[in-house]
Structure 1
Amino acid sequence: MTSEQRTGERAAHPADVRQRGATVWLTGLPSAGKTTIAEALASQLRADGHRVEVLDGDEVRAFLSAGLGFSREDRHLNVRRIGFVAELLASHGVKVLAPVIAPYADSRRSVREHHRGTGTPFLEVHVATPVDVCADRDVKGLYARQRAGQLSGLTGVDDPYEVPADPDLRVEAHRQTVQESVAALRELLDQRGLA
């Protein structure tokens, strides 16, 4: 038996799968449902014995990226910082769920390439909720503030969001329940030998 066959057999063992790290990057507009889906998935994975961390974009920005603004350069740096922490955790056997807007394709590509360079699994999930649905949800009041002229640079409204051309999964959170979205993510993880 070759070492590749032995490695393949080990990876198929459920205990080893629970110990395999990966980053699941959920990108989408504000109020698309990224964090809701990530938290629900995290709960299921933890119940199954996986080590899981959720790196919510807003929470990380408050600590790791405090002082950064919302220019293209600052947003890119914020995404790269989150990507670095995600890869570090994932390389140590943690399933990292990163619900982060990450509006620019080059920023997301940079994070993916960093993961690829270290051999750490990275999955990009586009939570593809249309802007009008996000504005109706308006979980944090951002769209209302933008309409009132109190906020500018809102991603998808007066600042660009570059839709992922070829994500590992596209979730239409406005057409399916949170449970259905989580099931689609679980299926993706299973297909990649990570669930």
Structure 2
Amino acid sequence: MSGLVIWITGLPGSGKSTIAEGVKSSFPECVVLRMDELRKILTPQPTYSETERETVYRAIVYMAKTLSELGHHVIIDATGNLKRWRELARRFIPRYMEVYLKCSLKTCMEREALRLNSHGAPRDIYKKGLFGHPVPGLSAPYEEPDNPEVLIEIDNMSQEAAIAAVTKATARRTNQK
């Protein structure tokens, strides 16, 4: 049986990496694919152009699909700012679950400025976005999911409660209690 693929999407600073790590602590067999780490390998000097984004998002979908086919559960920790990338995963991965961390831009900007562990993400991204660097939700589009399997309104929920909600949904989808 193929493994479950969970795509945790949301604006930069919404808590994707924190939630991914929290879920992984309950499911240690999960493989976490971090876009920020993949990007360092595929594009060591990223430009964040549309062409580059297309390449790295298609690569992460392919890796998740392959790992899933081998029976691994996978967590994709990636903004996935355009619906077409998340829909690509949904189309090609039989056991797919989208988790949307809905978070206000203001909260994301505050969190990103204060975070100590960036989990490999570039620092000061919103500050750079104010000067023209393409940042989803600020100077680049972020297309909200239409029907995510899990919607977490992160502004109104603690990280612990968010992790618990995603962990519970994951347990249901993987038939674990």
TM bin (shorter chain): 0.7 to 0.9
Question: Which 5+ residue runs of structure 2 have no aligned equivalent?
Answer: 116-122
AA matched with 1:24: I
Residue by residue, what CA displacement relative to the aligned partner does 1:23-57 show, whole Å, maximum 9, x if unpaired? 110011111100000011101212xxxx1111111
How do 1:23-172 residues align onto structure 2 when only pairs under 5 Å count?
A: 23-46=5-28, 51-66=29-44, 69-116=47-94, 121-138=95-112, 139=115, 140-147=123-130, 149=131, 151-172=132-153
Kindly state the Cα deviation for residue 166 of structure 1 after the two structures are TM-superposed.
0.7
Q: Distance in 1 between matches of 2:175 and 2:77?
A: 18
Q: Is the Cα–Cα contact under 8 Å of residues 3 and 74 in structure 2 kept in the other structure?
A: yes
Q: What's 1:16 paired with?
A: none
Q: Distance in 2 between matches of 1:166 and 1:72?
A: 24
Q: 1:39 aligns to what SS in structure 2?
A: helix
AA matched with 2:126: Y
Kindly state the Cα deviation for residue 193 of structure 1 after the two structures are TM-superposed.
3.7
Q: Distance in 1 between matches of 2:61 and 2:144?
A: 18
Q: What's 2:3 paired with?
A: 21
Which moved further from structure 2: 156-165 or 169-178?
Answer: 169-178
Larger Rg: 1
Q: Distance in 2 between matches of 1:71 and 1:60?
A: 16
Q: Distance in 1 between matches of 2:71 and 2:169?
A: 18
Q: Is the Cα–Cα contact under 8 Å of residues 26 and 167 in structure 2 kept in the other structure?
A: no
Q: Distance in 2 between matches of 1:180 and 1:20?
A: 28
Q: Distance in 1 between matches of 2:6 and 2:69?
A: 13
Q: Distance in 2 between matches of 1:64 and 1:88?
A: 18
Number of aligned residue pairs = 167
AA matched with 1:55: L
- Among all aligned residue pairs of Structure 1 and Structure 2, give the percentage whose two residues are the same amino acid: 26
Question: Which 5+ residue runs of structure 1 have no aligned equivalent?
Answer: 1-18
Which moved further from structure 2: 58-67 or 23-32?
Answer: 58-67
